[in-house]
Amino acid sequence: MSDVIRAVGLVKTYGEIHALDGLDLAVPEGTVTALLGPNGAGKTTAVRILATVLDADDGFAEVAGIDVRKDPNAVRSRIGLSGQFAAVDEYLTGYENLDMVGQLYGLRRRPSRDRARELLDTFGLADAADRPVKTYSGGMRRRLDLAGALVAHPPVLFLDEPTTGLDPRSRTDLWEVINELVKAGSTLLLTTQYLEEADRLADDIVVIDHGKAIAQGTADQLKGRVGGERVEIVVAADADLAAARTLLQELAGGEVVVDEHTRRLTAPVSGGAGVLMEALRRLDALGIAVIDIALRRPTLEDVFLTLTGHSTDEDGALPGTGARTER
Ligand SMILES: Nc1ncnc2c1ncn2[C@@H]1O[C@H](COP(=O)(O)OP(=O)(O)OP(=O)(O)O)[C@@H](O)[C@H]1O
Ligand SMILES: [Mg+2]
């Protein structure tokens, strides 16, 4: 399988800021790679360089075997790009926007119109097709922009944070659309701050931080780097923390991390639900009231923390990362 998107040592600086600091990337044909990183990691910069919107200061990039610097026009004819911020004309209708893109790509009148209607259907915008985009919600604009990237059936797609700002339902819908595209053979590089999104869509995940790839692998491989399952218990009373800790230590064998502030205890376990049941039984026997008990599989947030020593939400960008330090 050949690499349809390939970057070697990409560098881009803005004064003191190293937006990209030697980024390497390879996306095999027909696969999905997610560039996963927090705000300012360099995701948009990388996509813009690969999509020929921006020149790199150093390094090499090719798309569909074409050097992005030497022949940007040839690259452009093979890619679809949906940027982080929807680029749609406010005063045209959704339909007119897509038809315009079709004509820009040189589609004939009829095929361009048909394609516009087809995409409006796919993206759940058929009812709003003939309304000016300025009446659209943020999520509708987002979907229209994505549809625009697909007008010309490009074999290579770049989607920069495709579902940021969408509600959970629209996000799941969009994941389905994207999965269909990939099944149809597209090669896709997407960026995301949503770890779940990378998990759901990507064959391969490149974790990017400060303009560099700091890890690469499948979601499972990355999760494997932080170890297996953990049991989490929140006890009702401060006075029970010590006893609960002793109990967990016996059950889990590994290190128990105690957050006294939230009265949460966490420990690595093997044995899954059985361990959970046993913990509950023993807690009950000791008369320890429990507010919450759960078996937690490592998330990609945990991976990020393990890899970088800092959480992904330093800019408040990611929900659910917390400042947890349990390993
Ligand atoms: N035109 C510019 N001028 C100055 N600095 C820039 C410019 N574009 C990007 N940067 C800086 O380069 C770094 C990488 O930016 P980039 O937009 O690629 O990050 P990102 O990963 O896409 O972040 P986000 O998740 O917020 O979209 C940031 O520190 C950003 O401030
Ligand atoms: Mg960005």
What is the DSSP secondary-structure string of 154-213?
A: -SEEEEESTTTT--HHHHHHHHHHHHHHHHTT-EEEEEES-HHHHHHH-SEEEEEETTEE
Pocket lining: 193 vs ligand 1, CB cutoff 6 Å: yes
Pocket lining: 49 vs ligand 1, CB cutoff 6 Å: no
Position 127 scores a pLDDT of: 97
Q: If you average pLDDT over every residue of the chain, what do you get?
A: 89
Position 244 scores a pLDDT of: 95
> End-to-end distance of the chain based on CA atoms, in angstroms?
37
Among the bound ligands, the one closest to the CA of 160: 2
3-223 maps to which CATH number? 3.40.50.300
Distance of CA 98 to the CA centre of its chain: 26
Cα 72 to middle of ligand 1, angstroms:
22
Burial call 132-165: b when 16+ CB within 10 Å, e when fewer? ebeebeebbbbbbbbbbbbbbebbbbbbbbbbbe
pLDDT digits (tens, 9 = 90+) for 262-318: 999 988 888 778 888 999 999 999 999 999 999 887 777 777 777 877 766 654 334
Pocket lining: 12 vs ligand 1, CB cutoff 6 Å: no
pLDDT digits (tens, 9 = 90+) for 142-176: 889 999 999 988 999 999 999 888 888 888 888 98
Say which amino acid occupies 39.
N
170: Cβ contacts below 8 Å, ≥ 6 apart = 139, 142, 143, 163
Say which amino acid occupies 178.
I
What distances in angstroms separate CA 106 from CA 77, 152, 192, 223, one per listed residue?
Answer: 10, 9, 31, 45
Q: Which of 60-64, 140-144, 229-233, 252-256 has maximum average pLDDT?
A: 60-64
pLDDT at 36 over 80: yes
Q: Which of 149, 184, 143 is nearest to 29 (CA)?
A: 184
Residue nearest to atom 28 of ligand 1 (CA): 40
Q: What is the dihedral of CA 173, 177, 179, 181, to 10 degrees?
A: -170
pLDDT digits (tens, 9 = 90+) for 289-301: 999 999 887 777 7
Structural fold of domain 228-297:
Alpha-Beta Plaits (3.30.70)
pTM of the model: 0.81
Dihedral class, residue 106 (left if φ above 0, else alpha if ψ from -120 to 50, else beta): left
**Closest approach atom of ligand 1 to CA 84:** 27
Position 182 scores a pLDDT of: 86
pLDDT digits (tens, 9 = 90+) for 189-199: 999 988 889 98
Pocket lining: 43 vs ligand 1, CB cutoff 6 Å: yes
Cα 36 to middle of ligand 2, angstroms:
11
CA–CA separation, 139 and 157 (whole Å): 20
Position 312 scores a pLDDT of: 66
Say which amino acid occupies 104.
L
Can you give the residue ranges of every domain in the chain?
3-223, 228-297
Percent of the chain with pLDDT over 90: 62
> Does residue 273 sit in helix, strand or coil?
helix
Pocket lining: 84 vs ligand 1, CB cutoff 6 Å: yes
CA–CA separation, 185 and 308 (whole Å): 34
Residue nearest to atom 4 of ligand 1 (CA): 14
Q: Do domains 3-223 and 228-297 have the same CATH topology?
A: no
Cα 20 to middle of ligand 1, angstroms:
9
CA–CA separation, 201 and 175 (whole Å): 7
